Each structure stands twice: as structure tokens, then as C-alpha cells.
Amino acid sequence: MKKAFKILGIILLVIIFISSFFFLWKKAQPKKMYYGIEVPKIDTLEKKTVATGKVEPRDEVAIKPQITGIIEEIYKEAGQSVKAGEVIAKIKVIPEMANLSNADSRVRLAQIALDQFKSEFERQKKLYNTGVVSKEEFEKSEATYQRYVEELDNAKDNLEIIKSGISKKGNAYSTTQIRSTVSGMILDVPVKVGNSVIQSNNFNDGTTIATVANMNDMIFRGNIDETDVGRVKEGMPLVLTLGAVQGTKFDAILEYISPKGKEENGANLFEIKAAMVVPDSVFVRAGYSANAEIVLNRKANILTIPESTIEFVKDTAFVYLLTSNDAVDQTFDKKQIQVGLSDGIRIEVVSGLNKDDKLRGNIVDKK
């Protein structure tokens, strides 16, 4: 009985040994790979670069006051359209006491001078009517009298301007009324009623009352990397994609490339501008972020293959041509080819292949 158990144990050990040996041998065998098959096809390839930026009006005009004061009324708000000459806001003038005092003094002096000469002019007029004074002397006296009258009127107008910013003679041209200098849409009104504003002069830009722009003349302003700037030129077409306007692409024409780059995050970027074509059915707001696709090179009706089928050894390109294909095994021959333009997915075959060849693709199964 013991002998039978001993023999059974030996048989089990032999079976375990043989099974382990077979398992290890099977595992050590090379695995066969099964590849997908790709075929060349006639296609069109485009080499593109992408510039990031934003859309904005070509010209934004800042409307500034010509007089210092306080905003009394605002007649327009952002988003409304205005025409050149239309009033946007009204300013209340706060006169300086020194200027007010000088203007008031000028009025009094002009009045005194006029009153003093008026009596003289009346005497000259009576003498002229009686024939004592010649016509020439009377005309001189009359001209002097008119000059004093004009000086008094000017002094009064100056006083009114200092007080309220408006004169009787030039009411239509009052600087207290802030008018738009161009026609377009108001993009922003950064002031409120009660805000103090400063006039625009040679020493100060002045306070911006409103920003006006023509929203029918939009441009793309963005940056392009120095590796691509040498391959673009004015007049090239662009395709714009706006993040805020999904599903719509806009055409544009490159108008400007900056001659000087600027460094941002370690990269040298060059500013570009492109005139944008906006359909009437779409409203594009200023400041939308946008991406511009620029076609650097394009070839049509060329033989192409997936770039993943190529094996590069230094500067030489190779592909694997299918020579045998069955359910058990595949065989390939390595062949050198010459390639050209690539869009990152497909690549042009200049020579070495024809459209009937079959190429080794990616691994699709393991057996």
C-alpha cells in the first residue's frame, strides 16, 4: 500500500515538472503580432499654423472733453449707435475763483470805458449834425465807440464761458456738450453722473467720456511664433474661429506683420493683423478671443500615406510592404521611400510607392 502511494507521488511530481516546463517554454516563445493594413491614396495636404489673439474694431476713438467740470447728464450708454456730432453727455462747469474775478473785473472796466466815451461820441454826433465837425472825424469817433461796445460784449461772453462754459454767441458750439467725433457704436462709457472730468490739452490726455468704434470694420490681432513668421506674408488668407461663436468660421486677409518680436514666456512672438469678413447675420463683439489658421503650404492630388506607417532612421524614411497575409502569419519587406509635405497625420510620398501597395499599419491584434 505504501509502495502504491509512493509511485503515485512520483507520477504527480513528474506531471507537475512537465507542465511547468511546457508553460515556461510556451511563455518564452516570441509573440506574433498582427498588423492593420494601410494603402496609399490620392489626397490634398495642407501645412497650417495657428495664431492666437482676439477680434477688435480697427479704430477705437476715445471721446474726451475740452473743458474741466462735472458730468451733469449722460444721454447714451454702451451698445447704442451714435452719429458724428451727436451729444453723448453734458458737463457742468465749476469756475475757478481767480478766473471768475478777473473776468468780472474785465466786464466792469469795459463798461466804464464805454460809458466814458459814450458822452464824447454824443457830442461829436451833435457837432457833426451842425456841420462843425468833419465827416472823417465823426467816422473815427464812431469806430472808436463801436470798438468799446465790442470789447464790452467780448468781456461779457468771456464771463459767461467761465461761469457756465456757454456763451450767447457760440451756444451751438458749447464745450459743455460732449459730442461724438465719429459715427459708430459706443463700446464703453466709463464715467457716471457726478464724476469730475479733466479737459484734454497739451499736458494731459483728459478723461475719457466714451469709446466709439465702427463695428463693421473688424480686425484680428494676434501673435505668431518666430518659427512660422518667415513663411507668412501680407495678403495670405486666414480662417478665424471664435470661441464665443460656435460652428461658424470667418475669412480674413493678413494685412500686417510686425517687424519686431516680443518675448513672452521664453518664446519670441510677432504681432499680426488681419482684416476680418463679418456676415451681416452675425454680430461680433469687441474682445472675442480667436484662433487664426494660416495655410503655409498646400498640395492637391498627391499620393499620401499615414505618417504612422513610416519608420525614420536619421533622415531616411522606410515603410514595410506586405508580401504575405493569412490568418496565421504576415510577412513584410522593408523599403526606403522619399517623403514631402506633412500635415501631422498624413504625409506626401514623393517616390518609392504606388497606390496599389499595401503597408504595415498599427498593431490590431496579438496571437
- Where are the domains positioned within the chain? 33-44+300-366, 49-57+215-298, 61-93+173-213, 97-164
Calculate ∠ Cα 258-264-268, nearest 5°.
50
Contact (Cβ atoms closer than 8 angstroms) between residue 359 and residue 322:
yes
In this structure, whether the domain defined by 61-93+173-213 belongs to CATH 2.40.50.100 is answered with yes
Cα separation, 339 vs 342, in Å, equals 8
Could you give phi then psi for residue 247, rounded to 5 degrees? 80, 5
pLDDT tens-place string over residues 64-111: 988 888 888 999 999 899 999 899 998 887 666 656 567 667 777 777
- What is the model's pTM? 0.62
Cα separation, 200 vs 211, in Å, equals 15
- Residue 143: the pLDDT is 79
For 154-168, the DSSP string reads HHHHHHHHHHHS--S
Cell of 60: 477705437
Could you give phi then psi for residue 265, rounded to 5 degrees? 55, 40
pLDDT averaged per 10 residues, the chain (length 367): 67 72 61 78 87 92 87 90 91 68 71 72 72 72 77 71 59 70 92 87 85 93 90 90 88 93 88 91 90 87 88 87 74 87 86 86 69
- Residue 251: the pLDDT is 92
Cα separation, 295 vs 293, in Å, equals 7
- Residue 311: the pLDDT is 86
Q: Name 81's Cβ contacts closer than 8 Å, sequence gap at least 6.
A: 183, 184, 185, 186
Cα separation, 341 vs 297, in Å, equals 8
Alpha carbons within 13 angstroms on the beta-carbon side of residue 349 total 24
Of the candidates 185, 1, 153, the residue with the CA atom closest to the CA atom of residue 78: 185
- Residue 172: the pLDDT is 46
Max alpha carbon distance in the chain (Å)?
177
> Out of 2.160.10.10, 3.40.50.2300, 3.90.76.10, 2.40.30.170, which CATH number does the structure's domain 49-57+215-298 have?
2.40.30.170
Please list the residues that pair with 43 across neighbouring strands.
302
- Residue 53: the pLDDT is 92
- Residue 135: the pLDDT is 73
Which CATH number is associated with domain 97-164? 1.10.287.470
Helix (H, G, I), strand (E, B) or coil at 193: coil
Which CATH number is associated with domain 33-44+300-366? 2.40.420.20
